[in-house]
A and B are shown apart, each in its own frame.
Chain A
Amino acid sequence: MKLNQGKIGRQEIVCAVAITACASGIFTPGSQTLYANGNPAYISMLLSAGLALCVFGLLVRAMRRTGAHTLWELLRFGLGSVAGRIAATFYTLLFILSAASLLSRFTLLLGQFVFPLTPGWNILIYLLAAACVPAWLGLEGLGRAARLLGWPMLFSLTLALILAAGNYEPYRLAPFPGDSMPGLAGFGARGTLFFLPALLGLLVVAKGAHGLSNAGKAGYIANAVSGVLAAVCRLCLGMSYSYKDLAQMHSPMYRLATGFKAEGYFSRLDVLLVFGWAMGGMLAAAFYIYAASYLYTNAFGQEDIRPSVAVFSGVAGAAALAPHLQFAPPEAVMAFLSAYGYILMVAPLLMAAMIARAHVKRRRRARGGAV
């Protein structure tokens, strides 16, 4: 077996998952839908992180009860071999799409603001290489590098927020909390699409994180950190611009960073900050690609993860490039996925968890009867 997994400690896995969830939570959501009817994103981010945590908690509990060590084992135990494989393929696709959406966002951000004359594919090559190679090298390197490179990302995020502090006006947060409570709840539920994949990735590689118990604790910590950071970023954005302006912005975080203009040698600090975030984005995409490859490898009995990593990186790259080539899925599909994607994502998991639990109960009862 050559799964390039090894063993990493809690700090490393927390950093890897937190960076992934943070990058997804902060940079992936589309501004148009998020700020369509008000400025409640800072609350909905917390709600999304909380909901993701609940689902994660349920899954960890189900895995503990059923004795499953990884997400694949839970799917197989709950849904059986064939349906489990279908579900595993679905989650593999989810991870690939999560990576693609991150890569696409950063390609767009860099193409629009830093390299305006460079074609998207050219930028994507660098991002993709920096995502593919770490995934190829495996979880150990990825986790340890996340522990080191998490600091530049955190530093660049907090620096952007601190430097923009002069522009904050709390009145821009009105109306509080957004247009309506159901709308807020809806945003919160949809937002799980940004936080849950990272946690699912953690469950996929739980063996490499010293087992389920450690992975569970790491997941709670990582989710709390990323949820709070994403919410703080949205709060700062909300205080800097009105929701109408935010809805029009493609990359509000970059706009926030450009709000600060330094004098002399430190002018245009925003470009440096963007590359701090981009490093986080690369690691996050690498984590998704690794999780996708690992799940696929487990589900289909492959012995080497590297061919999957190469193929899935290519697929993620192609998917990330699609919007830049004016190739996009039909509007209706996108709207459906945006509105109900979270249900599609959570439903098979919950089903697998419930069936698995029922199996265990039945077994226990049967054992009790036999005794």
Chain B
Amino acid sequence: MQTKERKGGSIWGILRFDEADEEFELLESERGRPKAYTRPEKPAPREKPAPASRFLFENERRLRQEFRCNVNSDILLRRFRLGQSVDALAVCMNGMASGGMINDFILRQGMRPGCMDGAAGSPARFAMDNIFAQQESECTADWQTIKMAILDGKTAVFIEGDELAVLMDTRGYEKRGVENAQNEKVVKGPQEGFNESLRTNITLLRRIIKTDDFVCEFQHAGGKNNVQLAIAYRQDVVNPNLLKEVKRRLHNVRARMLTSDGAIERMTERYGLSPLPQVLSTERPDRTAAHIMQGHVAVLLEGSPTASVMPATLFTLMATSEDSYMRRPPGAILRMVRYIGAGMSILLPGYFMAVAMHHQGMLSTETIVTIIQSREMVFLPLGLEMLFLLWVFQLLREAGVRVPGSVGQSIGIIGGLVLGQAAVSANMVSTVVLIIAALAGLGNFTIPDYSTQIAASYFRIFLLLLGWAGGLLGLSAGIVVLTVWMARLKSYGVPFLAPVAPKTFKGGSGGMRGRINRRQRPVDYINTWEEGQ
């Protein structure tokens, strides 16, 4: 009987007392063999398809049948005579392969009279070596590989009398060009962002990391839609245990369809119920490259314009690439502003609620009078008023994100102004509470990572409810619980609050922006190979 592996996402997992946690540690004490407490789930045994046939008609029949050619007109099967003497069949996917490349470098070359003269041994190998002018080509008889190659946009050429097929890279599908990063804009530094093409994304990384130890391993992503992913890392730097763990978790990914790296993140992270991300998702090649240089591992998925960098800590999620492009004092101040903004976003509504509802004695007379005057005609209780405003803020934000371009911006501005003004005029909310909610919302936008922004808004509401119910006592209890919970969180074996708690950096700057020359060393908390030597 196969043991069922426990998934971190189950809410019932919290209350189960009979199963050990699947835990992976990357602390210094845990060096050596990786501790994979559970074995990777074995894929269900699949019957291996028979290899390609020596007879062309048999291969053609099989292809027509398996690609459902009676109803599917996307598949192109082109028969021709190689060197005007041997029957051959070129197969490709319409739209995925470039017609020009097939015409110029396969058909035109192959139809030249006498080009097969002197062929000895395997005709496919001979054709690949002497006729087809393609830089990336291979010979295989494996039927699954041939099918996958055709689906990927490559062209397969079958030759009568040979079971080997020549696979040639003729991919020429339409794709978006390299454009500016949309969600991680910077003033200084490179502007380009990833697009949906895996090859282009890797090229963008290779343009930045020109080292011989930079490796991109391709593998099947695990979805039934047969997309590929690439695991990018520096072999001389990366911690082998981290790499093994990343591969182990990726090996367990099973999904009907994978179109975004977000799905892979969800399926590989340990704490599935955590609102905080345990992987950094970035659309910037320079940011990904910087992390790879430091010893992180990046996973890029075909069709996804973002890279997943692992492990990620809170301080990774709070940093932007621009921090490194600025001089140290402004970089450090910017980062500090961001931390203060995040703190304000999470704590301010709860703190205001606690003080206004339970500890009025802490406020000066002027402040109390201002609050009372502004709430004179408001019919909603203070807590509901704050919750209502935070809800409106979330609505505006969601609407602004979903509605395209300038209309989205207009919704944000006009909605904010009009709704705010209207709500004050209708005595639904007071101006003081409006300002508090707006400040909290503004602070939320200082958090660079989108998933962390969302997590911060959950924390804000959690602390608001505690502050409303229990005053500063509730708020401090909430802070303790949240801090302990975050401190316990791990991303691929690395504590989420590293390098501050635990303190792992050696003379570094922790969460703040350090000196550039210090970055010549890899980050301490990953225990990289380079550092260990």
A: residues with CB less than 8 A from B are 1-2, 6-9, 11-12, 110, 114-115, 123, 126-127, 129-130, 133-134, 137-138, 140-145, 147-149, 210, 264-265, 267-268, 271-272, 275, 278-279, 282-283, 286, 303-304, 306-307
Interchain CB contact (< 8 A) of A129 among B358, B471, B481 = B481
> In the complex the two chains form, what is the Cα distance from A129 to B481 in whole Å?
8
Interchain CB contact (< 8 A) of A144 among B17, B476, B479, B487 = B487
Nearest B-chain residue to A129, judged by Cβ: B477
Q: Is A144 a contact of B495 with CB atoms below 8 Å?
A: yes
Chain B: interface residue total (CB-CB under 8 A): 41
Q: Mark interface residues in B129-140 (1 if CB within 8 Å of A CB, else 0).
A: 000000000000
Task: Enumerate chain B residues within 8 angstroms of A114, measured Cβ to Cβ.
Answer: 359, 471-473
Pick the 6 closest A-B CB pairs, nearest first: A141-B488, A144-B487, A130-B477, A144-B501, A134-B484, A145-B484
Nearest B-chain residue to A8, judged by Cβ: B502
Q: Is B480 a contact of A147 with CB atoms below 8 Å?
A: no
B203 interface residue per 8 A CB criterion: no
> In the complex the two chains form, what is the Cα distance from A110 to B479 in whole Å?
18
Interchain CB contact (< 8 A) of B473 among A7, A138, A148, A275 = A275
B405 interface residue per 8 A CB criterion: no
Which residues in chain B, 454-495, are within 8 Å of chain A measured between CB atoms? 470-481, 483-488, 495
Known: A267-B362, A267-B364. A145 touches B483 (CB 8 A): yes
The 6 listed contacts between A and B (C-beta, < 8 Å) are A1-B20, A8-B502, A144-B502, A145-B501, A148-B483, A279-B480
B25 interface residue per 8 A CB criterion: yes
Task: Enumerate chain B residues within 8 angstroms of A144, measured Cβ to Cβ.
Answer: 484, 487-488, 495, 497, 501-502
> In the complex the two chains form, what is the Cα distance from A144 to B25 in whole Å?
16
Interchain CB contact (< 8 A) of A271 among B359, B478, B485 = B359
Q: Is A145 a contact of B487 with CB atoms below 8 Å?
A: yes
> In the complex the two chains form, what is the Cα distance from A11 to B501 in whole Å?
9
Interchain CB contact (< 8 A) of B472 among A149, A272, A282 = A272
Residue of B17, B473, B495 with most partner-chain A CB within 10 A: B473
Q: Is A11 a contact of B502 with CB atoms below 8 Å?
A: yes
B78 interface residue per 8 A CB criterion: no
B503 interface residue per 8 A CB criterion: yes
Known: A137-B485, A138-B488. A115 touches B21 (CB 8 A): no
Q: Is B477 a contact of A9 with CB atoms below 8 Å?
A: no
Nearest A-chain residue to B477, judged by Cβ: A130
Task: Enumerate chain B residues within 8 angstroms of A7, measured Cβ to Cβ.
Answer: 25, 27, 29-30
Q: Is A134 a contact of B362 with CB atoms below 8 Å?
A: no
Task: Enumerate chain B residues within 8 angstroms of A265, measured Cβ to Cβ.
Answer: 363-364, 367
Known: A1-B20, A110-B473, A265-B364. A130 touches B501 (CB 8 A): no
B75 interface residue per 8 A CB criterion: no
Nearest B-chain residue to A276, judged by Cβ: B476
Which residues in chain B, 342-358, are within 8 Å of chain A measured between CB atoms? 358
Nearest B-chain residue to A1, judged by Cβ: B20
Q: Is B361 a contact of A9 with CB atoms below 8 Å?
A: no
Q: Is B501 a contact of A12 with CB atoms below 8 Å?
A: yes
Task: Enumerate chain B residues within 8 angstroms of A286, measured Cβ to Cβ.
Answer: 484
> In the complex the two chains form, what is the Cα distance from A138 to B503 in whole Å?
18
> In the complex the two chains form, what is the Cα distance from A13 to B249 in whole Å?
31
Q: Is B470 a contact of A126 with CB atoms below 8 Å?
A: yes
Q: Is B488 a contact of A304 with CB atoms below 8 Å?
A: no
Task: Enumerate chain A residues within 8 angstroms of B476, measured Cβ to Cβ.
Answer: 130, 275, 278-279, 282
Interchain CB contact (< 8 A) of A148 among B19, B359, B361, B487 = B487
User: Smallest Cβ distance from A82 to chain B, in angstroms?
Assistant: 26
B500 interface residue per 8 A CB criterion: yes
Q: Is B362 a contact of A271 with CB atoms below 8 Å?
A: yes
Task: Enumerate chain B residues within 8 angstroms of A6, measured Cβ to Cβ.
Answer: 23, 25
Q: Is A2 a contact of B17 with CB atoms below 8 Å?
A: yes
Task: Enumerate chain B residues within 8 angstroms of A148, measured Cβ to Cβ.
Answer: 483, 487, 497, 500-501
Nearest A-chain residue to B474, judged by Cβ: A126
Task: Enumerate chain A residues within 8 angstroms of B470, measured Cβ to Cβ.
Answer: 126
Q: Is A130 a contact of B502 with CB atoms below 8 Å?
A: no
Nearest B-chain residue to A307, judged by Cβ: B17
User: Smallest Cβ distance from B443 to chain A, in angstroms?
Assistant: 20
Q: Is B21 a contact of A141 with CB atoms below 8 Å?
A: no
Task: Enumerate chain A residues within 8 angstroms of B475, measured Cβ to Cβ.
Answer: 275
Task: Enumerate chain B residues within 8 angstroms of A11, measured Cβ to Cβ.
Answer: 502-503
User: Smallest Cβ distance from B394 to chain A, in angstroms?
Assistant: 26
Nearest A-chain residue to B503, judged by Cβ: A11
User: Smallest Cβ distance from B474 to chain A, in angstroms?
Assistant: 6
Known: A130-B477, A134-B481, A148-B497. A115 touches B20 (CB 8 A): no
Given contacts A127-B473, A130-B481, list 15 more A-B pairs with CB under 8 A: A2-B17, A7-B27, A114-B473, A115-B473, A126-B474, A140-B487, A141-B488, A145-B487, A145-B501, A148-B501, A267-B363, A271-B361, A275-B476, A282-B476, A307-B17
> In the complex the two chains form, what is the Cα distance from A275 to B17 in whole Å?
34
Task: Enumerate chain B residues within 8 angstroms of A12, measured Cβ to Cβ.
Answer: 501-502
Q: Mark interface residues in B1-42 (1 if CB within 8 Å of A CB, else 0).
A: 000000000000000011111010101011000000000000
> In the complex the two chains form, what is the Cα distance from A149 to B470 in whole Å?
20
Task: Enumerate chain A residues within 8 angstroms of B471, measured Cβ to Cβ.
Answer: 114-115
Q: Is B502 a contact of A2 with CB atoms below 8 Å?
A: no
Known: A123-B473, A144-B487, A148-B497. A130 touches B480 (CB 8 A): yes
Nearest A-chain residue to B476, judged by Cβ: A275
User: Smallest Cβ distance from B229 to chain A, in angstroms?
Assistant: 31
Task: Enumerate chain A residues within 8 angstroms of B497, measured Cβ to Cβ.
Answer: 144, 148
> In the complex the two chains form, what is the Cα distance from A267 to B360 in whole Å?
11
Interchain CB contact (< 8 A) of B480 among A1, A283, A303, A304 = A283
Task: Enumerate chain A residues within 8 angstroms of B502, measured Cβ to Cβ.
Answer: 8-9, 11-12, 144, 147
Task: Enumerate chain B residues within 8 angstroms of A307, measured Cβ to Cβ.
Answer: 17
Nearest B-chain residue to A211, judged by Cβ: B29
> In the complex the two chains form, what is the Cα distance from A115 to B26 in whole Å?
45
Which residues in chain B, 496-513, are within 8 Å of chain A measured between CB atoms? 497, 500-503
Task: Enumerate chain A residues within 8 angstroms of B359, measured Cβ to Cβ.
Answer: 114, 268, 271
Nearest B-chain residue to A139, judged by Cβ: B488
Q: Is A271 a contact of B480 with CB atoms below 8 Å?
A: no
> In the complex the two chains form, what is the Cα distance from A144 to B475 in whole Å?
20
> In the complex the two chains form, what is the Cα distance from A267 to B481 in whole Å?
28
